[in-house]
Structure 1
Amino acid sequence: MIDTEALRTQPELTGENVVLTQLDESYFETGWEALREPESRRLTGTHTEFTPEQVRTWLAGRPGLDDRADYAIVRKTDRAHIGDLALTDIDKDNRSASFRIALNGPEFYGKGYGTEATGLLLGYAFDVVGLHRVSLEVFDYNPRARRAYEKAGFVREGLQRQALWWDGEWHDVITMAVLATDPRP
């Protein structure tokens, strides 16, 4: 059974280098910058152009939901907002969810922040919320993310051929998942 109250109240999750805290409108400025950062847009395959009002409204609506969990990733040393991640598309009957993560720019890549944040969220998903399966999609041009997901326990399950059109060419989407019963790194 899924603990929807755990989703609604979303506890802060603390790791060695990052803290996951409820994503809300207080993260607008850095979130808005990240949505306009070209490499972050490419790595997430974001074609949509958002308005500031759309982003503010979306952020304000994150707290208190019982069908997803949206977290800001903040660096533990200085509480700088370095990205966000989420459990989405929660299927209560099948105890499954989708996962997504985005760091706010290249200055945060390759430092282990994403790997640590992913591990924290998976612990919450399996041990607190009660999920059995968490899945994700990653683009073929992002091997760094694939390695980070594998470190967190995700296993490649499939390939969606030529599912993303980006910069004038087609790219494959790799599907990965991790189960509550899989070994934890």
Structure 2
Amino acid sequence: MENLYLRAFEYSDLSLLNKIRNDDILFQTTVGNKYYISSEYDKKWIEDKIFNNNKQLYLVVCCRGIDEPIGYVCATNIDYINRKAEWGGLIISKEFVSKGFGTNAGYLLLDHLFGELGMNMVYAYVKEDNKASYRLSEKYGFKKDGLIRDFVFKQNSFHNAFIFTIVRSEYENLHLNREERSLDFIK
């Protein structure tokens, strides 16, 4: 994980983020809906992530050495009173997929949510047919708590989603003692 770090969004990230957010294949697997997003719209979206981030956390994933942004991670619906947050997503550019970058970026986000922000629980919704996200959730230590029927309408039909959760004590027991873990996520 020392090859990655997370940082705040910058306006210079516009072209990468707009490319990722307009990827048709990506949105077939997520619980989010497909929108056609102009670069002008994404300028405003990035501005919102920079200045109105009280209940959401969007961070760019970068590779050390080349200092190149390769994707982003996010948590939404952050509830500081009840100490919980929704896993909002993990998006990595196609050219960096299947190289471990996504997995490691997810660990960095969870480290930040549990370690720095003091969350007690992180929950995620995973589309029932999204096997990759299902496996990744289990790899992180999330537990499948149930199935939500007809959770999202997309591609002209309703789709079910699983809800996954992980609580702080489970995450600490599973991950914080690993030698390769590093909380050095800020450049």
Task: Tell me the TM-score normalised to structure 2 length.
Answer: 0.82
Which structure 2 segments of 5+ residues have no match? 176-187
Percent identical residues: 23
2:104 aligned residue: 116
Partner of 2:5: 19
Aligned to 2:33: 46
Alignment RMSD: 1.9
Alpha-carbon distance in 2 for matches of 1:137, 1:29 = 27
- Please give the per-residue CA displacement for 1:47-93, whole angstroms capped at 9, x wherever unaligned: 22223222101112323533322101122342332211112111122
- Choose which of 131, 137, 144 in structure 1 pairs with 2:132: 144
Offset of residue 104 of structure 1: 4.0
Q: Where in structure 2 are the equivalents of 1:84-99 lying within 5 Å?
A: 84-99=72-87
Whether contact under 8 Å (2:71, 2:91) holds in the other structure is yes
Aligned length: 171
- Residue number among 44, 48, 59 corresponding to 1:61 in the alignment: 48
Unaligned runs of 5+ in 1: 1-14
CA–CA separation in structure 2 for the residues paired with 1:168 and 1:145: 22
Letter in 2 for 1:108: F
Aligned equivalents of 1:39 and 1:75: distance in 2?
24
Task: Give me the whole-angstrom Cα distance separating, in 2, the residues matched to 1:29 and 1:153.
Answer: 33
Answering whether residue 91 of structure 2 is matched by residue 107 of structure 1, we say: no
The separation in 2 between residues aligned to 1:143 and 1:168, in whole angstroms, is 21
- Give the distance between the partners of 2:92 and 2:105, measured in 1 at CA: 13
Are the counterparts in 2 of residues 40 and 104 from structure 1 also a CA contact under 8 Å?
no
